[in-house]
């Protein structure tokens, strides 16, 4: 009998399947196994408050974000029970914000397999990622840039297990037999009450009238919903017939339970009940057929019910405007978001503004204080005439009596010979040196091997603290960088014009310094337009970007984190703003910290204000 662990995953905008946490996967799986009686929708906010805006529709296998209307595919994927998800092992990397992000499940399983085999490291190139995971330092190393990030291994819940014949499809319900199971008692949380209410209204409109357990009476003509008056200050609660009683203290949870069990889906609060099976000729209005006015009234009615139960709500705006948001979607979203206690304001969806308005040639100006308006770069030849040992000699001091510490390159004791097993450098393996500026100590043998595996440009970067010795250069392929002023302002910078940078790099053949020499590389998305404010700090950033361009540090050739394509031109750890008039992708304005952040990224590449003077020399 086959067995597997089930991991529920969603498809992100880069085409990668990202795993839900074990707790969320258990929650989804429980709804799947309950079959149609569970309603066919999974409210993720019930198990993780951070996912409150999200609902999974099991019929279409889509994740729906209620505040934006975004749909993403989801899947129910199976993995070996002996792999990482079957043991509750999660591998994560530290992002720029200092928080931890789990690897894709495929990557995490690969890392865990190598970890269990007690390998010292694992190269992820075979699965499409240009990274090496070093288990001795618990670090992730970018093979192109040598940038390191911390990684960690932590234990979590084991993902849900299934046995028997695994289904070939991801459809719902999981098995036909579950449809005849007795209905489970409805969840009494406000969010589920409203979800089921809306779902019942849609079902009634799509499949004809259902026989409700209780039907409404005295419904106004044309399907309008009779709304109860809004509860004002000191208002007394209504009983099941709408009569105001004395001062009765009712807990919100009791109110919701009474609504869930005694009020039919779609009925107004306080409507009288009829015997089960009663045939009412009153029209039952489907949500899909409601006009804007009736839909807005339904949303208001549901909000008032929630207010009475103590759930915070906010108004849903723009239902009567010209918004392209479908009115039914807007109404459902408002109801569900109010039920979750989240702020709601549905307006016209913001537009992605990548480029400025058209600019004529006469309006394009050169940038004061910056010479020329473009520059090209070609491959710079590595410095000749010096061996790696001669290069490193400038940066090292010999250590005659090494401390009882590990060399963080080969992880052998400094008092013992180097443990490096690659091509043999010409120096003795037991020699030890200290870097002159930062003071970190290594086997000279290991430093020479590291230099030989790099760009061999006469520079060295300390693998521990990243201090750069010499002038660091990169492997950016040949191209052109243009820069000029345009007469438009960026969001957040209304008092200055804009510096536009245009990068152009054609496809070509990789050189000896690239990952796959002799193989062709692609160059997607060029020319790439980037933007800086024409302020004092913006011009400073531009001047340093020009230095980075000349040193071939803006781009590299590797694997795209967006598309997964290998042997293509990628950004090289220096972030650029590619949105002119919006910030929907995080690559636009306003961004108060961007200029400081990019200055720090350039400094990490060895580029500062002193670098501009060096370039002139």
Query: pLDDT tens for residues 218-277?
Result: 333 333 333 333 333 333 333 333 333 333 333 333 333 333 333 333 333 333 333 333
- Picking from 469, 487, 512, the residue at the C-terminal end of a domain is 469
Query: Looking at the structure, do residues 580 and 431 belong to the same domain, yes or no?
Result: no
Query: Looking at the structure, do residues 465 and 483 belong to the same domain, yes or no?
Result: no
pTM of the model: 0.48
Query: pLDDT tens for residues 370-412?
Result: 988 998 886 654 454 578 888 888 999 999 999 999 998 888 9
Backbone phi and psi for residue 527, each to the nearest 5 degrees, phi listed first: -70, 145
How far is 64 from 73, CA to CA, in rounded Å? Answer: 9
> pLDDT: is 266 or 472 the higher one?
472
> pLDDT: is 194 or 572 the higher one?
572
pLDDT at position 97 over 90: no
Domain interval for residue 455:
388-469
Query: Looking at the structure, do residues 503 and 573 belong to the same domain, yes or no?
Result: yes
In CATH, what number is assigned to the domain containing residue 565?
Answer: 3.30.390.130
Preceding omega of 590 cis (within 30 degrees of 0) = yes
How far is 128 from 561, CA to CA, in rounded Å? Answer: 10
Strands (E), 51-187: 54-57, 62-65, 71-79, 89-94, 100-102, 121-123, 131-134, 139-142, 148-155, 161-163
How far is 131 from 476, CA to CA, in rounded Å? Answer: 18
Residue 281 CB-density burial (10 A; 0-12 exposed, 13-18 middle, 19+ buried): exposed
Query: pLDDT tens for residues 539-554?
Result: 999 999 999 999 999 9
Query: Looking at the structure, do residues 420 and 463 belong to the same domain, yes or no?
Result: yes
Query: pLDDT tens for residues 475-517?
Result: 999 999 999 999 999 999 999 999 999 999 999 999 988 989 9
pLDDT at position 325 over 90: no
Residue 41, CA distances (Å) to 36, 54, 186, 299 in order:
9, 10, 13, 20
CB 141, CB 131: distance < 8 Å: yes
Token pair for 551? 């040193």
- Picking from 428, 447, 469, the residue at the C-terminal end of a domain is 469
The predicted model gives 172-201 an average pLDDT of: 47
> pLDDT: is 458 or 384 the higher one?
458
User: Which string of DSSP letters, residue by residue, matches 410-442?
Assistant: T-SBTTS-----SS--SS-TT-EEEETTT--EE
Average pLDDT, the chain: 74
How far is 402 from 58, CA to CA, in rounded Å? Answer: 63
Query: Looking at the structure, do residues 465 and 487 belong to the same domain, yes or no?
Result: no
Q: Is residue 26 assigned to a domain?
A: yes
Segment among 133-137, 215-219, 609-613 with least mean pLDDT? 215-219
* Short-list 336, 338, 316, 337, CA closest to 327: 316
Q: Is residue 41 assigned to a domain?
A: yes
- pLDDT score at 31: 87
Cα dihedral angle (422, 426, 432, 435), rounded to 10 degrees? -90
Query: Looking at the structure, do residues 456 and 596 belong to the same domain, yes or no?
Result: no
Q: Is residue 39 assigned to a domain?
A: yes
Query: Looking at the structure, do residues 432 and 460 belong to the same domain, yes or no?
Result: yes
% of residues, the chain, pLDDT over 90: 37
Query: Looking at the structure, do residues 461 and 503 belong to the same domain, yes or no?
Result: no
Query: Looking at the structure, do residues 9 and 149 belong to the same domain, yes or no?
Result: yes
In CATH, what number is assigned to the domain containing residue 401?
Answer: 3.30.40.10
Q: Is residue 285 assigned to a domain?
A: no
Q: Is residue 258 assigned to a domain?
A: no
Query: Looking at the structure, do residues 607 and 567 belong to the same domain, yes or no?
Result: yes
Q: Is residue 610 assigned to a domain?
A: yes
Other beta carbons within 10 angstroms of residue 137's beta carbon come to 17
Q: Is residue 452 assigned to a domain?
A: yes
- pLDDT score at 380: 55
Preceding omega of 474 cis (within 30 degrees of 0) = no
In CATH, what number is assigned to the domain containing residue 109?
Answer: 3.30.720.50
Q: Is residue 278 assigned to a domain?
A: no
- Picking from 125, 140, 164, the residue at the C-terminal end of a domain is 164
Query: Looking at the structure, do residues 9 and 114 belong to the same domain, yes or no?
Result: yes
Query: Looking at the structure, do residues 532 and 588 belong to the same domain, yes or no?
Result: yes
Domain count, the chain: 3
Most confident residue range from 94-98, 144-148, 377-381, 391-395: 391-395
């Amino acid at each position: 009998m086959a067995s597997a662990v089930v991991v529920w995953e969603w498809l992100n905008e880069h085409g990668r399947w990202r795993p839900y946490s074990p707790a969320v996967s258990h929650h989804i799986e429980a709804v799947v196994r309950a079959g149609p009686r569970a309603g066919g929708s999974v409210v993720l906010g019930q198990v993780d408050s951070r996912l409150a805006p999200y609902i999974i529709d099991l019929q279409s296998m889509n994740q729906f974000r209620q505040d934006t209307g975004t749909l993403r595919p989801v899947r129910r994927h199976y993995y070996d029970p002996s792999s990482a998800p079957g043991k509750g092992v999660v591998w994560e990397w530290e992002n720029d914000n200092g928080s931890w992000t789990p690897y894709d499940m495929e990557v995490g399983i690969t890392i865990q397999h190598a970890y269990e085999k007690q390998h010292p490291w694992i190269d992820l190139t075979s699965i499409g990622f240009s990274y090496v995971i070093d288990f001795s330092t618990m670090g992730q190393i970018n093979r192109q840039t040598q940038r390191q990030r911390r990684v960690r291994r932590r234990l979590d819940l084991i993902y849900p297990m299934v046995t028997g014949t695994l289904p070939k499809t991801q459809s719902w319900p999981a098995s036909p037999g579950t449809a005849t199971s007795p209905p489970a008692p409805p969840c009494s949380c406000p969010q589920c009450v409203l979800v089921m209410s809306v779902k019942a209204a849609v079902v009634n409109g799509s499949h004809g009238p259902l026989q409700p357990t209780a039907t409404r009476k005295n419904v106004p003509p044309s399907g309008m919903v009779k709304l109860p008056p809004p509860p004002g200050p000191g208002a007394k609660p209504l009983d099941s017939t709408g009569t105001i009683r004395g001062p009765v203290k009712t807990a919100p949870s009791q109110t919701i339970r009474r609504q869930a069990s005694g009020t039919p889906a779609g009925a107004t609060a306080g409507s009288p009940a009829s015997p089960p099976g009663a045939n009412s000729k009153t029209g039952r209005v489907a949500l899909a057929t409601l006009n804007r006015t009736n839909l807005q009234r339904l949303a208001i009615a549901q909000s008032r019910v929630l207010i009475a139960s103590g759930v915070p709500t906010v108004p849903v705006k723009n239902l009567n405007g010209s918004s392209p948001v479908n009115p039914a979607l807007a109404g459902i979203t408002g109801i569900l978001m109010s039920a979750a206690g989240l702020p709601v304001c549905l307006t016209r969806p913001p537009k992605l503004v990548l480029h400025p308005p058209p600019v004529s040639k006469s309006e394009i100006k050169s940038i004061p204080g910056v010479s020329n308006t473009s520059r090209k770069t070609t491959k710079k030849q590595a410095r000749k005439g010096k061996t790696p040992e001669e290069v490193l000699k400038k940066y090292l001091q010999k250590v005659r009596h090494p401390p009882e510490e590990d060399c963080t390159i080969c992880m052998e004791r400094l008092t013992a010979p180097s443990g490096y097993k690659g091509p043999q450098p010409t120096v003795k393996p037991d020699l030890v040196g200290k870097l002159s500026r930062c003071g970190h100590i290594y086997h000279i043998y290991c430093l020479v091997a590291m230099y030989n595996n790099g760009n061999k440009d006469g520079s060295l970067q300390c693998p521990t603290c990243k201090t750069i010795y010499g002038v660091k250069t990169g492997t950016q392929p040949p191209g052109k960088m243009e820069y000029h002023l345009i007469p438009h302002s960026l969001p957040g910078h209304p008092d200055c014009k804009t510096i536009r940078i245009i990068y152009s790099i054609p496809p070509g053949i990789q050189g000896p310094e690239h990952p796959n020499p002799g193989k062709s590389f692609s160059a997607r998305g060029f020319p790439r337009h980037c933007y800086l404010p024409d302020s004092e700090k913006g011009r400073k950033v531009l001047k340093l970007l020009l230095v980075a361009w000349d040193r071939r540090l803006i781009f590299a050739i590797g694997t795209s984190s967006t598309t997964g394509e290998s042997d293509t031109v990628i950004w090289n750890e220096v972030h650029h703003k590619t949105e002119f008039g919006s910030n929907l992708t995080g690559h636009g304005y306003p961004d108060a910290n961007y200029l400081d952040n990019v200055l720090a990224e350039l400094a990490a590449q060895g580029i500062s204000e002193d670098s501009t003077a060096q370039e002139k020399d």
